[in-house]
Chain A
Amino acid sequence: MGGRAIVVTSGKGGVGKTTSTANIGLGLARRGQKVALVDADIGLRNLDIIMGLENRIVYHLVDVVRGRCQVRQALVKDKRFPQLSMLPASQVDQKESITPDEMKAVVAQLKEDFDYVLIDCPAGIEQGFRNAVAGADEGIVITTPDVSPVRDADRVIGLLQSSLGEPQLIINRMSTDMVKRGDMLNQQDVLDILAVRLLGIVPEDDEVVVAGNRGSPVILNEQSRSGKAFDRIVRRILGEEVPIPELNGHGGIMHRLGKLFFRR
């Protein structure tokens, strides 16, 4: 029971849950942790293709729950990092085909063998969400700095607080240029609104699309800004104190002076 089970969720779809799960998982494994990734998005599986493991799936989560195979048989080992495995979702079943208790049992079993179990949650707050959260010990909420994801993140944060306690927040796809122009909520704005602990900020980066195309998550690209941001997040999860660089585009002395005199 040594492992930590973390659910990666957002409420809103398309903000980077799967991308974040894949990158954090790879990052943790690269830093020597035994990691299991669980795709809880039954019916719309995507973690496999983002990870580049789509051709190696034999069994899936629903097979495990139904007793058609052992967890070990369903786990797809990542050849890049042997200490990383993925439990794929079923593509043909429904969210309702498993229950929170069944999910809990699977995650508990994985926690015996892995240091980290990362659960990629489906969008929404219905059964799929309840299943994904059921086995988790803690939560990471992903949002982008846009009005609807932030609103949905707030809802999800409220739901997680009642079950798992305070989640941590990742702000994904932050555009320095837009923040500079005042056309995008900045880090402080989002934190003012959501009032949660910030785990990290990932800048908008075309390399994420390239990484998806190749099935090689961006954290493996050492040059990429977003890859570096994900690696800092990984180090924070591991308990390291890594400062969060402000992506506000104006972090110089004038900015600080301005802040000093005109703080609201």
Chain B
Amino acid sequence: MAWGDLVQRFFGTRGSKDEAKGRLQIVLAYDRLGLSADQMEALRRDIMETINRHVAIDTERVKIDFLQQHPAAVMIEAPVRAKRTSGEEGKPTEEAKQETKQEEKQEVTTS
């Protein structure tokens, strides 16, 4: 962040360039892939389901980004859920893991 941005933030006025940058980054992500918003959502759903099949992830916090490069690259940030039982004595049981998975799957289908 440039110093000027900070000053602007301090005084509560922000230039329009951040908006330009944000909008461009989104529009270019679509341009580069040639995907529509619907297709993007489908991609997101499929990715989450696939990962969830193996590792329980926090579906609320899944982020799919496009690296600003040519050719475009997809970067997926999928935070793995903290194993609920790991804090207690003993290792996570197979059932507990299974439970999380089930729960996640539901979230995925409803999202």
Q: Are A195 and B69 in contact (CB under 8 A)?
A: yes
Interface size on B, residues (CB 8 A): 25
* Chain A CB within 8 A of B25 CB: yes
Known contacts A150-B24, A154-B31, A157-B70; decide if A249 and B4 are in contact (CB<8 Å): yes
A contacts with B, residue count (CB < 8 A): 34
User: A262's closest neighbor in chain B, by CB?
Assistant: B1
Distance, CA A248 to CA B35, complexed state (A): 35
Contacts of A179 in B (CB 8 A): 17
Checking A157, A183, A259, A262 against B16 with a beta-carbon cut-off of 8 angstroms, the contacting residue is A183
Whether A92 sits at the interface, judged by CB under 8 Å, is no
Q: Which residues of B contact A254 (CB under 8 A)?
A: 3
Query: Do B1 and A195 touch (CB < 8 A)?
Result: no
A250 to B2, CA, bound (A): 8
Q: Give chain A residues whose Cβ lies under 8 Å from the Cβ of B8.
A: 182
Query: For window 99-143 of chain A, which residues contact chain B by CB distance below 8 Å?
Result: none
Using Cβ atoms and an 8 Å threshold, which residues of chain B touch A183?
Answer: 15-17
Interface residues in chain B, defined as those with a beta carbon under 8 Å from any beta carbon in chain A = 1-6, 8, 14-18, 20-21, 23-25, 27-28, 31-32, 68-71
Known: A185-B20, A250-B4. 7 other contacts (CB 8 A): A155-B31, A180-B4, A182-B14, A182-B17, A182-B18, A183-B16, A255-B4
